[in-house]
Structure 1
Amino acid sequence: MLQSKYHWNISPYDLEASRQLQQQLEIPALLASLLVTRGISNSEDASKFLDHSLMELHDPYQMSGIEEAVPRIRKAVDAGERILIYGDYDADGLSSTALMIELMRTLQANFEFYIPHRSKEGYGLHNHVLKQAHDNGVSLIVTVDTGISAVEQIAYAAELGIDVIVTDHHEPPAKLPEAYTLINPKLPYCPYPFKGLAGVGVAYKLAYALLGKDTPAAWLELVALGTIADLMPLTDENRVLVRMGLEQMTASSFPGISALLHTAGWNQGEVTSTNVAFGLAPRINAAGRMSHAFSALDVLTATSMEVAEDLAEKLDLLNRERQQLVDDIVGEAFKRIEAKEAAGTLPDVLVVAGEGWNVGVVGIVASKILERYYRPTLVLGIDVATGECKGSARSIPGFDIYEALTYCDALLDHYGGHPSAAGMSLHRDRLEEFEQRLNEFARNVLRPEHFIPSLQADLECRLREITLPVIEQLAQLAPFGMGNPSPRLLVRGAELLDYRQMGKDGKHLKLTIRQDGSMIEAVAFGKGEIFKLLTPEARVDLVVEAGINEWNGQRKPQLFIQDISIPHLQVFDYRDPLDPGTKIEELQQGILKTSYCSAGSMAAVSSRRADLLAVGHLEGTSVWVYDQEQGISPGRSESDRGDAVTVKTLFVIELPDSADIWNKMLTSFVNLERVFLLHPRSSVDTIEAPSRERFKQVYIFLRKYAGQDECLEERVIAELMSRFGISRRMLYFILDIFVELDFIVRGEGRITVNSAPSKRPLESASGYQSLGLLAEMEQILLHEEVPQITEWITCQLQGVS
């Protein structure tokens, strides 16, 4: 058994609506079903969704503030006023700044631009920059992806005689800045019909209001980049903007974007949202995280391919350094959280801070911590000299982190963001109280169900439905991202034909699965650890995304695994090990490296005859011995029998003396998921399945032998072993059954045959029945192969549950 990482939710499914849509649009059934599960069941809406155009974009003048901004910018351009573009250091802010630079170049404006340093200055407008702008003769500032919370800074700009036009998309605070005008679709009074634009989307709307149909289509590349990188919903007009932008990228007008795509491994063909999200965005963000964002802006605004390629290589190197730095901080953060977890004090909201931690990467660290612990997480870097803490937060559905920070605003110097991600700064002296306040807020918001991560699957299907033509049709649903995820399909009960690790250090997993005769390869990135927990006999349930694998001119379907589950017990065959203790230690170390098993969930079981000291030193593996009455009992004095319920992985070192003990053991390990067999396969004292013929053979011999002067038990057993080839252990069972039936009497080393035995049938003896069950158990566990053993243990578990 392998538990899924997520709780799987299946979207509601309307079979009749899907059939109608399939017939009306003449599309594959799977594509029709996916449209319906996404709330698109009307044929007209579906056609528009599959074949959209720029005609679907909203009028920019519907956005509050644009009507005031356009004439002010035109006036500044005509009068030769000095204009400052003030941006942000993330990929959305840099895309916005690059787009505004393109606009100002087109307008032939007199302008300059500024991006704050992420760690030295932090997010937002800063008075020293405004003062410098004033000294440079700036009379108009246009912000992009920032400014909606800059109340004091914009007031200071007004004192300097500078007008400020704010274009932003972040959540507006209760008190708004008194700027020349505010452009943000999220303003409570703004009638703009779509609130999900990225910062670059808002900047594009302003540019389009100024240029109209003369707005270059190439600028949509920047819109696509910023929108995808900032995880904005790819719905409504974002879907149109991003799709058009991605189409432009295939033959980009920006040397920097082309250079970055090639650096990230793209060579030719369609540019997808995945190329942007995992190729472009991390490299652009690396500049602000590791150095200054100006280097990324230089790439985006480069006019020479030679210069762009050189800059792109430098960003790629920065990104690699960033990856290593993140790994180091994540490791340190995990140790701190694990200490709280071990002490039983893991809070609902995790706050970790470290001296000297690079504040440029703490958001990524927070994401990785959230992925492991599934709790709202805040990670802060502490400036040792000043005590100032700057950090980033990542949250889970149902917990608005921006609202939580607002609850703590008295402790914060600055904060801003979205319900799922935010940034903040405060002094280290307030950290403890800050954590307390956050968890106080969480106690009124979070419920147990919030801490269970979920994965939404669009629908359940069979492998035969996932064909190459169908996957090509599914591409019409793109671009994929927030609000319009790549279709996720649930496949149940697939046979596992082959599995292996791939990539550096076996980081990834590749499966070959089969169902109803259809066979397909499936790849699980970052899940190579699962390899140790798979068996050839496994039947897997998968949540997957479908794609196309192109190699050497061939194209075939390929699945990308999002989550995996094995819903049945698994048996691993390591019978006849040279040293059970060493083998268990080896297996334990491998298993604990996975995130699917934890210390305390593993146990080893054997008889009291086994050398339990061989495994007794293994930390995190409990030791149990077989017990006639209860099935098992703790092998260590400090253990409690109730601990058996926590066991999910069982190492069987030796078999018990009876099937009854085995069944009682299974009754105790009620949450068992996997069994590792490490017992010897052969035994000189084999047990036979009881038969009337064998018992008759022994009884006749005893009656004859008992007529002699002495009927010594040891002599009888030796003679029976020699004459009939019966093992000593088997003979003991037979003699015990004869005693139970009152056929013989055993005592003082002698056997006496009753002259007038009872007439009870052989099968009525409980010992006879127990012997049959024991023989069956040993035959299966000693001699059968894993499929038969798995089926037998599964039946045993069902029988005792």
Structure 2
Amino acid sequence: MRWTLKPKPDSKTVEDLQKALQVDQSVATLLVQRGIETYEEAKRFFRPSFEELHDPFLMKDMDKAVARIEAALSNNENILVFGDYDVDGTTSVALMSSYLKTKSDSIATYIPDRYDEGYGISYKGIDFAQDNDFSLIIALDCGVKAIDKINYASEKGIDFIICDHHRPGPELPKAVAVLDPKRDDCEYPFKELCGCGVGFKLIQALASKDGKTIEDLGEYLDLIATAIGADIVPIVGENRALAYFGLQIINTQPRPGIKAIIEQVKKDVLTITDVVFIVAPRINAAGRMKHGNYAVTLLTETNEELAKEYAQEINEFNLDRRETDQRITQEALVQIEENKEEDRLTTVVYHETWHKGVIGIVASRLIETHYRPTLVFTKSGSKLAASARSIKGFDVYNALEACAEHIEQFGGHKYAAGLTLDPENYEAFKQAFEDEVTKTIDRSLLTPEIRIDSQIKLKDITPKFYRIISQFAPFGPGNMTPIFMTENLKDTGYGKCVGEDDKHLRLTATQGKDKIVCIGFNLGNKCDLITHNKPFDAVYSIDENHWQGNVSLQLKLRDIKA
């Protein structure tokens, strides 16, 4: 791991903020590093407000989208709410359909089958709409590149409204409205909404026509907080406010489907991290292992007993998913070793039987072992389909764009993308991708980096300090959990490896008269660094340890060095 200590911010700015807030210098430093330099900025950061949400009509085409939906509702048209099969897509469909059903009985939902139809708007979905007299489709978390499919729908007399957040191509589809803050001609102030976020802006605009405000839409915020966490969008600006209030709903009055998931894990208060690792994988498992419809059914169910049944079903899908992705990861690691590809700057692996629903997870797991841009391919009908994942600082979407001659279609983000290609193009693509990455990547990025906010001493870690930095939450891209470094620590002599296969490290670190318990997940192989009273340096975050009714602070080690 590369340890990178963030540059110290301007000392005068830190000093002024410290005085204004009456906090320790270390807290003021952390705030200035996050771009918070004044009392007013700090107030907005610590107390998110609905006032931070922008007028939805600032988004290009919002007026057209609202007018078309209002016309459809007035004429009692059949409206089909269409979304992708992942968490962002299924929460978007649950949100939009739940809202529209308060206004009309002529609302239905459609999630494409991952295996039969693939990602995004599908011809099969459009045919379904025609066969069932739907004259308007609202597409969420997809559609901004679906030029041909929107034309196909238009020929059948079906209108489209697109709510997307992915990068558009050079041409926009000819839909009634294309809501996407990443459009070049869209001046919406916040560009980092997830798909569910764009959908929420649409219902916010519709509600405003009825004289309703954001406070009247609280019941939908648990969905959007789940999507924000799962889609790993920056938790700043509008996303921070939506995630903050959405977490409050999740922890006080979640919809029955989310409540049923929480009850399965018996956790009292969920953070955004818990949403990412507890709620999101279960919702995702439906589309990965069976069908995304199961997730929408769970998220829209109002009967608590039925929701418990659906949540149990989805939990079974998640257990199946976990077993499948672990097996495929091991097979992929063997393939890398057998093909002697350790010296490549990319990982590209393929097996025709690998489960399409988990290849994205497998790509992420491979990066944990071989830290480089990664694609995992499987057979999908007559084509090969892949999930791409990248490493911090490298734009895999741009790399795929440079290899477009070998690809049939692709889409996604800087760090995650999906693509399909013809089998005969696989080897050529694999080499082209390796060549492009070799040509463009900064070699230092191939060593994982830990960015350290501040260097502190153990005596600085007090309950008050922890209470303040806890209020920095919700954490995520743009506002990551504070990471600290402390030098010249020693173990009390009782440190040891714990857990299955001794994978983890547990110790009590001391520095002078101060000491604190530490847990280092997957750091068991570094146990020898702390033995025999050897001094070591540590990088860590601070959290609470709950044990037998007692609560104490502990260090969550990220790495240690002699």
Closer, same or farther: CA 293–528 of 1 in aligned 2, 3 Å: farther
Structure 1 residue 111 corresponds to structure 2 residue 119: no
Match of 2:379 in 1: 382
Choose from 176, 198, 201 the match for 1:180.
Answer: 176
Q: CA deviation at 1:559?
A: 1.3
Whether contact under 8 Å (1:87, 1:114) holds in the other structure is: yes
Structure 1 residue 428 corresponds to structure 2 residue 429: no
Match of 2:346 in 1: 349
After the TM superposition, which residues 455-494 of structure 1 pair with which residues of structure 2 at under 5 Å, given as runs? 455-494=450-489
Give the counterpart letter for 2:29 in structure 1.
S
Q: CA deviation at 1:534?
A: 4.4
Choose from 83, 86, 91 the match for 1:90.
Answer: 86
Q: CA deviation at 1:232?
A: 0.4
Match of 1:299 in 2: 298
Match of 1:496 in 2: 491
Closer, same or farther: CA 16–511 of 1 in aligned 2, 3 Å: farther
Match of 2:154 in 1: 158
Match of 1:261 in 2: 262
Match of 1:223 in 2: 224
Q: TM-score, normalised by structure 2?
A: 0.95
Structure 1 residue 561 corresponds to structure 2 residue 557: yes
Closer, same or farther: CA 312–501 of 1 in aligned 2, 3 Å: farther
Whether contact under 8 Å (2:3, 2:452) holds in the other structure is: no
Structure 1 residue 171 corresponds to structure 2 residue 167: yes
Q: CA deviation at 1:6?
A: 3.1
Q: CA deviation at 1:92?
A: 0.7
Closer, same or farther: CA 25–552 of 1 in aligned 2, 3 Å: same
Closer, same or farther: CA 345–258 of 1 in aligned 2, 3 Å: closer
Whether contact under 8 Å (2:336, 2:342) holds in the other structure is: no
Closer, same or farther: CA 284–527 of 1 in aligned 2, 3 Å: farther
Match of 1:712 in 2: none
**Aligned partners of 1:492, 1:134: CA distance in 2, in Å?**
67
**Aligned partners of 2:457, 2:254: CA distance in 1, in Å?**
43
Q: CA deviation at 1:345?
A: 6.6
Q: CA deviation at 1:7?
A: 3.4
Give the counterpart letter for 2:188 in structure 1.
Y
Whether contact under 8 Å (2:117, 2:124) holds in the other structure is: no
- 1:322 counterpart SS class: helix
Structure 1 residue 17 corresponds to structure 2 residue 13: yes
Closer, same or farther: CA 119–7 of 1 in aligned 2, 3 Å: farther
1:315-366 CA distance string (max 9 Å, x none): 222212211111111111111212344xx77322221011210111111111
**Aligned partners of 1:166, 1:237: CA distance in 2, in Å?**
20
Closer, same or farther: CA 398–506 of 1 in aligned 2, 3 Å: closer
**Aligned partners of 2:438, 2:544: CA distance in 1, in Å?**
46
Q: CA deviation at 1:72?
A: 0.6
Structure 1 residue 439 corresponds to structure 2 residue 434: yes
**Aligned partners of 2:196, 2:457: CA distance in 1, in Å?**
41
Choose from 36, 45, 57 the match for 2:32.
Answer: 36
Give the counterpart letter for 1:44 in structure 2.
E
- 2:410 counterpart SS class: strand
Select the structure with the greater relative contact order (CA < 8 A; seq sep ≥ 6): 2
Whether contact under 8 Å (1:10, 1:459) holds in the other structure is: yes
- 1:477 counterpart SS class: coil
**Aligned partners of 2:263, 2:525: CA distance in 1, in Å?**
30
Match of 1:572 in 2: none
1:603-627 CA distance string (max 9 Å, x none): xxxxxxxxxxxxxxxxxxxxxxxxx
- 2:66 counterpart SS class: helix
- 1:360 counterpart SS class: helix
Q: CA deviation at 1:207?
A: 0.4
Choose from 203, 206, 213 the match for 1:207.
Answer: 203
- 1:131 counterpart SS class: helix
Q: CA deviation at 1:387?
A: 4.1
- 2:252 counterpart SS class: coil
Q: CA deviation at 1:17?
A: 2.8
**Aligned partners of 1:19, 1:468: CA distance in 2, in Å?**
23
Q: CA deviation at 1:264?
A: 3.0
**Aligned partners of 1:345, 1:285: CA distance in 2, in Å?**
31
Choose from 497, 506, 511 the match for 2:502.
Answer: 506
Closer, same or farther: CA 504–309 of 1 in aligned 2, 3 Å: farther
- Identical-pair percentage: 37
Q: CA deviation at 1:149?
A: 0.9
Q: TM-score, normalised by structure 1?
A: 0.68
**Aligned partners of 1:447, 1:49: CA distance in 2, in Å?**
34
**Aligned partners of 2:442, 2:471: CA distance in 1, in Å?**
38
**Aligned partners of 1:38, 1:106: CA distance in 2, in Å?**
41
Give the counterpart letter for 2:135 in structure 1.
S
Give the counterpart letter for 1:402 in structure 2.
Y
**Aligned partners of 1:443, 1:549: CA distance in 2, in Å?**
44
Whether contact under 8 Å (2:48, 2:244) holds in the other structure is: no
Whether contact under 8 Å (2:523, 2:559) holds in the other structure is: no
Choose from 358, 363, 370 the match for 2:360.
Answer: 363
Whether contact under 8 Å (2:490, 2:530) holds in the other structure is: no
Q: CA deviation at 1:503?
A: 3.4
Unaligned runs of 5+ in 2: none
After the TM superposition, which residues 628-639 of structure 1 pair with which residues of structure 2 at under 5 Å, given as runs? none
Choose from 122, 139, 152 the match for 2:135.
Answer: 139
1:507-541 CA distance string (max 9 Å, x none): 33222101121111111223334336642323221
Q: CA deviation at 1:39?
A: 2.2
Closer, same or farther: CA 265–491 of 1 in aligned 2, 3 Å: farther
**Aligned partners of 2:501, 2:382: CA distance in 1, in Å?**
40
- 1:106 counterpart SS class: coil
Give the counterpart letter for 1:314 in structure 2.
E
Paired residues in the alignment total: 556
**Aligned partners of 1:447, 1:486: CA distance in 2, in Å?**
26
Closer, same or farther: CA 308–532 of 1 in aligned 2, 3 Å: farther
Whether contact under 8 Å (2:99, 2:203) holds in the other structure is: yes
Whether contact under 8 Å (2:260, 2:304) holds in the other structure is: yes
**Aligned partners of 2:187, 2:252: CA distance in 1, in Å?**
36
Whether contact under 8 Å (1:464, 1:516) holds in the other structure is: no
Match of 2:272 in 1: 273
**Aligned partners of 1:283, 1:536: CA distance in 2, in Å?**
44
Q: CA deviation at 1:97?
A: 0.7
- 2:490 counterpart SS class: strand
**Aligned partners of 1:371, 1:174: CA distance in 2, in Å?**
35
**Aligned partners of 2:311, 2:88: CA distance in 1, in Å?**
18
- 2:139 counterpart SS class: strand
Whether contact under 8 Å (1:77, 1:109) holds in the other structure is: no
**Aligned partners of 1:553, 1:350: CA distance in 2, in Å?**
46
Q: CA deviation at 1:505?
A: 4.0
1:222-272 CA distance string (max 9 Å, x none): 110001100000011100000000011112240111111222341x2x321
1:571-604 CA distance string (max 9 Å, x none): xxxxxxxxxxxxxxxxxxxxxxxxxxxxxxxxxx
Q: CA deviation at 1:565?
A: 1.6
Closer, same or farther: CA 419–259 of 1 in aligned 2, 3 Å: same
**Aligned partners of 1:560, 1:450: CA distance in 2, in Å?**
24
Give the counterpart letter for 2:261 in structure 1.
L
Give the counterpart letter for 1:113 in structure 2.
T
**Aligned partners of 2:20, 2:512: CA distance in 1, in Å?**
29
Match of 1:454 in 2: 449
Unaligned runs of 5+ in 1: 567-801
**Aligned partners of 2:15, 2:503: CA distance in 1, in Å?**
42
Match of 1:330 in 2: 329
After the TM superposition, which residues 688-703 of structure 1 pair with which residues of structure 2 at under 5 Å, given as runs? none
Q: Pairwise CA RMSD of aligned residues? A: 1.7
**Aligned partners of 1:550, 1:34: CA distance in 2, in Å?**
26
Closer, same or farther: CA 34–73 of 1 in aligned 2, 3 Å: same
Whether contact under 8 Å (2:539, 2:560) holds in the other structure is: yes
Q: CA deviation at 1:109?
A: 4.6
Match of 1:250 in 2: 251
Give the counterpart letter for 2:363 in structure 1.
A
**Aligned partners of 1:357, 1:502: CA distance in 2, in Å?**
33
Give the counterpart letter for 1:479 in structure 2.
P
